Protein backbone atom coordinates (compact mmCIF):
# COMPACT_ATOMS: atom_id res chain seq x y z
CA UNK A 1 0.00 0.00 0.00
CA UNK A 2 1.09 3.55 -0.67
CA UNK A 3 1.35 5.93 2.27
CA UNK A 4 0.80 8.82 -0.13
CA UNK A 5 -2.67 7.55 -0.90
CA UNK A 6 -5.12 9.61 1.10
CA UNK A 7 -8.46 8.26 2.24
CA UNK A 8 -10.98 11.04 2.81
CA UNK A 9 -13.79 10.43 5.32
CA UNK A 10 -16.93 12.56 5.51
CA UNK A 11 -19.23 11.78 8.44
CA UNK A 12 -20.97 14.09 10.89
CA UNK A 13 -20.41 11.62 13.75
CA UNK A 14 -17.04 12.30 15.38
CA UNK A 15 -16.87 8.84 16.98
CA UNK A 16 -17.35 7.21 13.57
CA UNK A 17 -14.68 9.42 12.01
CA UNK A 18 -12.14 8.61 14.70
CA UNK A 19 -12.90 4.88 14.60
CA UNK A 20 -12.52 4.75 10.83
CA UNK A 21 -9.33 6.79 11.00
CA UNK A 22 -7.73 4.29 13.37
CA UNK A 23 -8.73 1.28 11.27
CA UNK A 24 -7.60 2.79 7.97
CA UNK A 25 -4.32 4.14 9.34
CA UNK A 26 -3.54 0.65 10.61
CA UNK A 27 -3.50 -0.37 6.94
CA UNK A 28 -0.80 2.23 6.18
CA UNK A 29 -3.02 4.80 4.50
CA UNK A 30 -3.08 8.49 5.25
CA UNK A 31 -6.48 9.73 6.41
CA UNK A 32 -8.18 13.13 6.34
CA UNK A 33 -11.57 13.56 8.00
CA UNK A 34 -14.35 16.12 7.54
CA UNK A 35 -17.52 16.62 9.57
CA UNK A 36 -19.57 17.88 6.60
CA UNK A 37 -19.69 17.87 2.82
CA UNK A 38 -19.33 21.65 2.85
CA UNK A 39 -16.03 21.48 4.77
CA UNK A 40 -14.76 18.81 2.39
CA UNK A 41 -15.42 21.09 -0.60
CA UNK A 42 -13.54 23.93 1.08
CA UNK A 43 -10.48 21.91 2.05
CA UNK A 44 -10.16 19.18 -0.59
CA UNK A 45 -7.17 19.37 -2.92
CA UNK A 46 -7.48 17.44 -6.21
CA UNK A 47 -3.88 16.22 -6.00
CA UNK A 48 -4.77 14.41 -2.77
CA UNK A 49 -7.37 12.22 -4.42
CA UNK A 50 -7.31 8.60 -3.33
CA UNK A 51 -10.69 7.38 -2.15
CA UNK A 52 -13.69 9.01 -0.49
CA UNK A 53 -15.73 7.33 2.25
CA UNK A 54 -18.98 9.25 2.21
CA UNK A 55 -21.80 9.09 4.72
CA UNK A 56 -25.18 9.26 3.01
CA UNK A 57 -27.24 11.05 5.65
CA UNK A 58 -25.75 14.24 7.09
CA UNK A 59 -27.04 17.64 8.17
CA UNK A 60 -26.75 20.22 5.41
CA UNK A 61 -25.58 18.75 2.12
CA UNK A 62 -26.27 15.02 1.98
CA UNK A 63 -23.87 12.44 0.65
CA UNK A 64 -25.95 11.95 -2.51
CA UNK A 65 -26.01 15.70 -3.14
CA UNK A 66 -22.24 15.91 -2.80
CA UNK A 67 -21.76 12.90 -5.05
CA UNK A 68 -23.84 14.57 -7.78
CA UNK A 69 -21.91 17.83 -7.37
CA UNK A 70 -18.38 16.41 -7.61
CA UNK A 71 -18.24 15.96 -11.43
CA UNK A 72 -19.51 19.50 -12.00
CA UNK A 73 -16.53 20.73 -9.94
CA UNK A 74 -14.16 18.44 -11.88
CA UNK A 75 -13.47 16.42 -8.74
CA UNK A 76 -12.97 12.82 -9.79
CA UNK A 77 -12.39 10.51 -6.86
CA UNK A 78 -13.70 6.97 -6.34
CA UNK A 79 -16.52 6.96 -3.80
CA UNK A 80 -17.58 4.36 -1.27
CA UNK A 81 -20.85 5.34 0.36
CA UNK A 82 -21.59 4.44 3.96
CA UNK A 83 -25.17 3.62 4.87
CA UNK A 84 -27.12 2.79 7.98
CA UNK A 85 -28.86 -0.53 8.39
CA UNK A 86 -31.86 -0.94 6.10
CA UNK A 87 -30.94 1.97 3.82
CA UNK A 88 -30.42 -0.21 0.78
CA UNK A 89 -32.55 1.85 -1.69
CA UNK A 90 -30.34 4.88 -1.02
CA UNK A 91 -27.21 2.81 -1.59
CA UNK A 92 -28.67 1.62 -4.90
CA UNK A 93 -29.23 5.24 -5.93
CA UNK A 94 -25.64 6.07 -5.04
CA UNK A 95 -24.25 3.20 -7.12
CA UNK A 96 -26.43 4.10 -10.07
CA UNK A 97 -25.03 7.64 -9.74
CA UNK A 98 -21.48 6.33 -10.00
CA UNK A 99 -20.35 5.25 -6.54
CA UNK A 100 -17.89 2.37 -6.79
CA UNK A 101 -19.22 0.56 -3.76
CA UNK A 102 -21.13 0.83 -0.54
CA UNK A 103 -20.77 -0.59 2.92
CA UNK A 104 -23.30 -0.86 5.72
CA UNK A 105 -22.86 0.25 9.31
CA UNK A 106 -21.67 -1.30 11.58
CA UNK A 107 -18.56 -2.06 9.57
CA UNK A 108 -16.59 -5.23 9.25
CA UNK A 109 -13.02 -3.90 9.35
CA UNK A 110 -11.54 -6.45 6.95
CA UNK A 111 -14.36 -5.92 4.49
CA UNK A 112 -13.97 -2.14 4.68
CA UNK A 113 -10.23 -2.30 4.02
CA UNK A 114 -10.74 -4.69 1.13
CA UNK A 115 -13.22 -2.26 -0.44
CA UNK A 116 -10.78 0.62 0.00
CA UNK A 117 -7.98 -1.44 -1.55
CA UNK A 118 -10.21 -2.13 -4.55
CA UNK A 119 -10.83 1.60 -4.98
CA UNK A 120 -7.21 2.70 -4.92
CA UNK A 121 -5.42 -0.28 -6.43
CA UNK A 122 -5.88 -0.93 -10.16
CA UNK A 123 -5.04 -4.62 -9.95
CA UNK A 124 -7.50 -5.18 -7.12
CA UNK A 125 -10.13 -3.18 -9.00
CA UNK A 126 -9.79 -5.44 -12.02
CA UNK A 127 -10.01 -8.51 -9.81
CA UNK A 128 -13.09 -7.12 -8.07
CA UNK A 129 -14.73 -6.32 -11.40
CA UNK A 130 -14.06 -9.84 -12.63
CA UNK A 131 -15.74 -11.29 -9.55
CA UNK A 132 -18.71 -8.95 -10.00
CA UNK A 133 -19.12 -9.98 -13.64
CA UNK A 134 -19.16 -13.62 -12.55
CA UNK A 135 -21.92 -12.68 -10.09
CA UNK A 136 -23.92 -11.10 -12.88
CA UNK A 137 -23.71 -14.28 -14.93
CA UNK A 138 -24.78 -16.39 -11.94
CA UNK A 139 -28.11 -14.53 -11.84
CA UNK A 140 -29.14 -16.82 -14.70
CA UNK A 141 -29.01 -19.72 -12.23
CA UNK A 142 -31.81 -18.26 -10.11
CA UNK A 143 -35.36 -19.54 -10.34
CA UNK A 144 -38.10 -17.00 -11.23
CA UNK A 145 -39.19 -16.91 -7.58
CA UNK A 146 -35.61 -16.34 -6.39
CA UNK A 147 -35.33 -13.44 -8.81
CA UNK A 148 -38.51 -11.95 -7.40
CA UNK A 149 -37.11 -12.21 -3.89
CA UNK A 150 -33.84 -10.68 -5.04
CA UNK A 151 -35.63 -7.71 -6.61
CA UNK A 152 -37.59 -7.02 -3.44
CA UNK A 153 -34.46 -7.35 -1.28
CA UNK A 154 -32.73 -4.76 -3.45
CA UNK A 155 -35.75 -2.51 -2.98
CA UNK A 156 -34.93 -2.60 0.73
CA UNK A 157 -37.85 -4.75 1.84
CA UNK A 158 -37.58 -7.06 4.81
CA UNK A 159 -38.48 -10.77 4.71
CA UNK A 160 -41.89 -10.26 6.32
CA UNK A 161 -42.91 -7.67 3.73
CA UNK A 162 -41.59 -9.79 0.87
CA UNK A 163 -43.62 -12.75 2.14
CA UNK A 164 -46.80 -10.66 2.19
CA UNK A 165 -46.23 -9.29 -1.31
CA UNK A 166 -45.52 -12.70 -2.81
CA UNK A 167 -48.17 -14.54 -0.83
CA UNK A 168 -45.73 -16.98 0.75
CA UNK A 169 -44.48 -17.63 4.27
CA UNK A 170 -41.58 -15.79 5.86
CA UNK A 171 -39.79 -19.11 6.24
CA UNK A 172 -40.10 -19.71 2.50
CA UNK A 173 -38.66 -16.26 1.81
CA UNK A 174 -35.73 -17.08 4.11
CA UNK A 175 -35.15 -20.30 2.17
CA UNK A 176 -35.23 -18.49 -1.19
CA UNK A 177 -32.91 -15.85 0.19
CA UNK A 178 -30.41 -18.44 1.39
CA UNK A 179 -30.57 -20.24 -1.97
CA UNK A 180 -30.01 -17.12 -4.05
CA UNK A 181 -27.11 -16.00 -1.86
CA UNK A 182 -25.50 -19.41 -2.30
CA UNK A 183 -26.02 -19.36 -6.07
CA UNK A 184 -24.66 -15.82 -6.38
CA UNK A 185 -21.85 -16.59 -3.93
CA UNK A 186 -22.94 -13.50 -2.02
CA UNK A 187 -21.80 -13.04 1.55
CA UNK A 188 -24.10 -10.15 2.41
CA UNK A 189 -27.02 -8.08 1.22
CA UNK A 190 -24.59 -5.49 -0.13
CA UNK A 191 -23.16 -8.15 -2.47
CA UNK A 192 -26.66 -8.85 -3.80
CA UNK A 193 -27.33 -5.15 -4.36
CA UNK A 194 -23.99 -4.73 -6.14
CA UNK A 195 -24.70 -7.62 -8.50
CA UNK A 196 -28.21 -6.33 -9.21
CA UNK A 197 -27.06 -2.78 -9.98
CA UNK A 198 -24.24 -3.94 -12.25
CA UNK A 199 -26.53 -6.37 -14.05
CA UNK A 200 -29.09 -3.63 -14.69
CA UNK A 201 -26.35 -1.36 -16.04
CA UNK A 202 -25.22 -4.18 -18.32
CA UNK A 203 -28.76 -4.74 -19.60
CA UNK A 204 -29.30 -1.02 -20.24
CA UNK A 205 -26.03 -0.68 -22.16
CA UNK A 206 -26.53 -3.89 -24.18
CA UNK A 207 -27.19 -3.29 -27.93
CA UNK A 208 -30.65 -4.10 -29.23
In the chain, the N- to C-terminal Cα span, in Å, equals: 43
pLDDT of 205 > 50? The answer is no
The percentage of the chain sitting over the pLDDT mark of 70, rounded to a whole number, equals 86
Give the pLDDT of residue 104.
83
- Please give the Cα distance from 67 to 61 (Å, whole number): 10
pLDDT of 122 > 80? The answer is no
60-69, 75-84, 195-204: which is most confident: 60-69
Model confidence band, residue 8 (pLDDT cutoffs 50, 70, 90)? very high
Say what the pTM is: 0.67
**pLDDT average, residue stretch 147-173:** 93
- Please give the Cα distance from 41 to 69 (Å, whole number): 10
Give the pLDDT of residue 65.
93
Tell me the CATH number for domain 131-205: 1.10.10.10
* Boundaries of every domain in the chain: 6-120, 131-205
Give the pLDDT of residue 1.
44
Who wins on pLDDT, 117 or 125?
Answer: 117
Range 65-70 contact pairs with CB under 8 angstroms and sequence separation of 24 or more: 65/37, 66/10, 66/37, 66/40, 66/41, 67/94, 67/97, 67/98, 67/99, 68/97, 69/41
Q: Which residues on neighbouring strands pair with residue 47, listed in sequence order?
A: none
Domain 6-120 has what CATH class?
alpha beta
Contact 92, 197 (CB under 8 A): yes
Segment (H or E) for 145: helix 144-154
Amino acid sequence: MNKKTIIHIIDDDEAVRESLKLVIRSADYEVVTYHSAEIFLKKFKPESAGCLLLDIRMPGMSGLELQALLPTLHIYIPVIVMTGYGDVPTAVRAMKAGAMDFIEKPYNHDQLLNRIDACVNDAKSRETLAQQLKGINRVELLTPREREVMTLLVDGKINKVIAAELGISTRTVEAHRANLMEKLQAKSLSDIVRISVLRNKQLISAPY
